[in-house]
Amino acid sequence: MSQVPTLTLNNGVRMPQLGFGVWQVPDEEATSAVSTALDAGYRSIDTAAIYGNERGTGEALARSGVARDELFVTTKVWNSDHGYDATLRAFDASLEELGLDHIDLYLIHWPLPLRDNYVDTYKALEKLLADGRARAIGVSNFLPEHLTRLLAETSVVPAVNQIELHPWFQQAASRAFHAEHGIATEAWSPLGQGKGLLDAPVVGQLAEKHGRTPAQVVLRWHLTLGNVVIPKSVTPSRIKENIDVFGFELDAADMAAFAALDTGERLGGDPATLNIT
């Protein structure tokens, strides 16, 4: 069994701090990749309707032999299904694809503020939570301004906000807002999508210092900050490497070196303006 610690979300549900993401994994590859991850000790799996791999992910979960109460499954409602009734239908479709009778964490994938429908969408999530069909609910890519409105107009504080977060884009303001309101911060693209971050000299120096790989020290940085993290890979050796990050600690100097890498620039879309379906 893995050494992955759990965080207690604001409704008492416990979530593994390190999970396995399947963004950009084709459905036909998802079963193998998720099976490898489960064998390596991952128990938290993060997918989404738009990824098109819920069915393959569900097949891996069913074949694994891992008890359902040991698994933590996250999926997300896509932009085209915003709105109260459409969200409930999308949830049913995701359940069917995954072959599950409940979801551990259900998220709104993007706020789409230009459409101004995320409050009604979130109210559907509140209904799913009240009915016990989702154990926890939250959001993804929400800015503090979007969260502030949810806090004012709905009843349930989001358990999680899953946002782009890596050493090049450290999101200090959002992390502080989350901490103030009891919202867990979950990092997508935690390794910066492999676009040079792992080749940065500072990261290489820290990896050498600790006798680890660059990816391992970046993931350790996330965990030290208290982030939930969901690295993605389809390579078995890297899947195993990414969960082997609990035998060392970063010191204050290491954390300061990482802090200096922040550019404040996104690799992905801007939640204030993104409006794709």
- Tell me which residues are annotated as active site: 51
The label of the residue with tokens 């016990």 reads 132
